[in-house]
A and B are shown apart, each in its own frame.
Chain A
Amino acid sequence: MSQISSEDEFKTTIAEYLESLPTQFCQRVFSSPAACLAIFRLLSTVGKQLIMSMLYLKSPLRLQEIGQWAKADHQRMVKSKIHQLRKLQLLVEEKGSVSLNPIFRKQLQNALTGGGDFSSFGIPYTGEGSSRISTKQLAKYADERWEAILHFMVGRSSQSHEMLAPLSESVRSILRVSKLMEDGSGGMTITNSGFQFLLQDPASQVWTVLLQYLKLEEMQNTDVVEVLNFLFQLVSLQLGRAYSTEALTRSQRKMLGELRDFGLIYQDNLDSKKFYPTHLITSLTSSGMSNEAASDSVQSELTKSSQQGYIILETNCRVYAYTDSPLQIAILNLFVHLVSRFTNLVTGAVTRDSVRRALAHGITADQIITFLTSNAHPQMQGKTPVLPVTVTDQIRLWEQERNRLKPTSAYFYKDFAQRQDFERVLRYAQDMGVLLWASSDKLQMVVTRQGHARIAELSKQQRASNAQQQRTSTSSGSAAANKRTN
């Protein structure tokens, strides 16, 4: 199953990355209040509440007590959240009772009360500024940079947008390392995971890139913790404010330069003493929503210009997209059969062939549907559900067409000595619900891998009765041919 394995590689959440870090690394990441706050904001709502409830508790809690906090029908869900917190090493378990990781607790308290590491939330630039850049300009800059990368990925950068800055080597290498693109015959070409990347919303795209950046740093033997801490510091900066670069270490400055290539950071020139975070990075954990009324209006304008939906999808599968951006048209072209193009409008239809082409690229039906939903025209946003059910169902059916066979790891039993033995094992397997296939004429059966262990136990007990049984193990069920159609 190429599809599943590629998604496994495709780590989209920072949480998974943090889980994979060794303990000492985690402890060092937790040593900054900004990092703790950023990590805290990435948790689920229930997880956050559990942390907050325990933040100022002095004594450790017994696991059962926490279980009692949950209502009866949500017990399992809360338990899984606790497990998740433990995997992130935020909770420490000792003899059946749990408490918060002491370093994390201390620094999160510091974040709330204002103590601890002074510079963890960034040092604002206080020197004379030659030109103050507005949030609008920042947004324009960031969007241009980011779109240039996406343009490059869909392969339109050279023809239509020559005025965009060419991509730097660091961006190319990240695209290469992340397997979003690979070196082909005529330069770099986009991969299947690259197609999936294009359909994500900007925030997850930024996370993906940052994670790949971390991986790249890891390969170059840079101190990942320093990179992570700086990243979390950047995430908690205020949009539209200038910050000083003076206190930064050398590797942090290098990182600043590389993030600038992605449009996450703005600097006047290479050795400027100040930098501005752009909305791409500040919106990762905080919305950039400032309490000042002035920047509020800018924020809403921002979201209007960059995130307003433009796609209308009709029940007859026709698509009308109000856009003139070559990038958006190229993305639509991944799964829509485009028919005609006007100055501000593209029309086309979602057809079986166009969707199957997308599926062949490794894009899933859910990704198509999420993309259409999040970019739906405001007139469609008011409806529930946003997209016509007929079309979403059809897209899912087209996906299922490709997955008619489901491989399961299994064991194949044959050559039973007696019919009695066969029937006893058959009944046992049926009772446990592990039977996949059986033929009483040929005295053969296939059970799942989980079932095999229990059946082996049964046969061990019955060994006294001298039941002979041969078994051949096949990793993927041999009864059902393990080939995918088409």
Chain B
Amino acid sequence: MSQAQESDSSLLVVVLDANASAWAQSPLSLDKALQQLVIFINAYLALNPENQLVVLGASHKECRYLFPADPSSAPPTHDIQVYEQFRTVDVHVLSGVHEMLSSHVDGNTEEQQSLIARALSKALCHINQVNQLSVNKIWSRILVLSAGQDSPHSYIPLMNTIFAAQKMSVLIDICKVFGQDSVFLQQAAEITGGNYLKVDTNSEASLLQTLLFICLPDQYTRNILNAPGNDLIDFRATCFCHKRVVDIGYVCSVCLSIFCQTAPVCSTCQTKFSFRLVKSDSNQSNSTSSPNASAMSSLSLKP
């Protein structure tokens, strides 16, 4: 893998968790967070005029492009106070988020889990497209601003996107605004070499400071400046049958699917397990045929 050069331009995909009910519980209101995010985006655009930007919004129901917006929307009027490149982005992002929020008012407001996995795969598709079209090397990274909780149902697609990102050498930075640590997103940052940050929401501007300090540097600068270390990462996996986070589970010997209970047939690859061999020596079976799921998964996580 070649090293990032100073002159290389970068592509940043911001995935914004736009789930109204999740933000409602946050000490930092969505409006304030958006303001700070917009300043961060402007700072990113100010770094290098060649820098490219995509902003994706993800709610519990849908995931859509906030920027670049579809050209059908009216062009924003020129505001002389702001540098024009910034202005376009800001207007699109802010109006896009408000549109998303207002369209989901009637929906199920209890759901706090957003379609992060879907947004990530959309982001990776976009990155891939840009890489195919451009002649020069473009270093890409993804920033997820997350407020909601993990959704165990999307464990498999999420892990798939994470490994795809790792293969494409795309960094994933996670900024968790409040609430419990997200087990899945922690893994996403760890595997792709990005940063996982939990923002101290006590002071107002801390989100912006964190973003500018840790998420702004590109791949080249990250080779030079230190990043905060990720101390404890929970590498536990979720079972494929009940979407529970498990310490110890059963792994299909053919497709490596993880289950919390024994089953005669693997639900993923339809392999029929032969239990006779296992049952013939019950003492041995405990140690060999039910391998430690976390050990297995961490093996596969560290290539």
Contacts and interface: CB of A to CB of B under 8 A. Distances in A.
B49 A121 contact: no
A419 to B, nearest CB: 53
B207 to A, nearest CB: 10
Given A48-B47, A123-B80, A287-B49, A57 B85 contact: no
Contacts of A45: 6, 47-48, 218, 220-221
A140 B120 CA distance: 43
A157 interface: no
A287 B50 contact: yes
Contacts of A70: 224-226
A68 B68 CA distance: 38
Given A46-B224, A53-B212, A71-B226, A37 B81 contact: no
Contacts of A212: none
Interface in A16-67: 34, 37, 40-41, 44-46, 48-49, 52-53, 55-57
B48 to A, nearest CB: 8
A112 B87 CA distance: 10
A40 B224 contact: no
B218 A124 contact: no
Contact of A286 (B49, B79, B213, B220): B49
A429 interface: no
A121 B80 contact: yes
Interface residues of A, number: 44
Interface stretch (B24-32, B38-46, B234-242): B38-46
Contact of A53 (B48, B83, B213, B218): B213
B277 interface: no
A414 to B, nearest CB: 50
B84 interface: yes
A285 B225 contact: no
Best-surrounded residue of A285, A287, A291 (most CB of chain B within 10 A) = A291
Contact of A74 (B6, B48, B224): B224
B299 interface: no
A14 interface: no
A139 B2 CA distance: 36
B80 A122 contact: yes
A95 B81 CA distance: 37
B86 A114 contact: yes
Nearest to A122: B80
Contacts of A56: 205, 208-209, 212
B223 interface: yes
A70 B223 CA distance: 9
Contact of B81 (A41, A48, A121): A121
A462 to B, nearest CB: 47
Contacts of A40: 46
Interface string B66-98: 001001000100111111111111100000000
Nearest to A124: B78
Nearest to B87: A114
A297 interface: no
B82 A46 contact: no
Contacts of A52: 43, 47, 212-213, 216
B49 A49 contact: no
A112 B85 contact: no
A455 B83 CA distance: 59
B28 to A, nearest CB: 15
Interface string A178-221: 00000000000000000000000000000000000000000000
A34 B68 CA distance: 25
Contacts of B88: 291
A111 interface: yes
Interface residues of B, number: 39
Contact of A41 (B6, B46, B80): B46
A390 B208 CA distance: 52
Best-surrounded residue of B48, B87, B89 (most CB of chain A within 10 A) = B48
A420 interface: no
A437 interface: no
B291 interface: no
B212 A55 contact: yes
B215 to A, nearest CB: 11
A112 B39 contact: yes
A77 B208 contact: no
A291 B90 CA distance: 13
A121 B84 contact: yes
Interface in B81-129: 81-90
A40 B49 CA distance: 12
A287 B47 CA distance: 12
A45 B7 CA distance: 9
Contacts of B42: 112-113
Contact of A119 (B80, B220, B226): B80
A293 interface: yes
A289 interface: yes
Nearest to A77: B224
Interface string B234-259: 00000000000000000000000000
B226 A111 contact: no
Contact of B84 (A57, A78, A118, A238): A238
Contacts of A119: 80
A236 interface: yes
B272 to A, nearest CB: 53
Contacts of A286: 49, 85
B6 A291 contact: no
A56 B49 CA distance: 22
A115 interface: yes
Interface string B191-229: 000000000000001001100110011101101111000
B6 A69 contact: no
Nearest to B90: A114
A78 B225 contact: yes
Interface of A: 34, 37, 40-41, 44-46, 48-49, 52-53, 55-57, 68-71, 74, 77-78, 111-116, 118-119, 121-124, 236, 238, 241, 285-287, 289-293
14 contacts: A34-B83, A48-B47, A52-B216, A56-B212, A68-B226, A78-B225, A113-B39, A114-B82, A118-B81, A121-B83, A123-B80, A236-B83, A287-B49, A292-B75
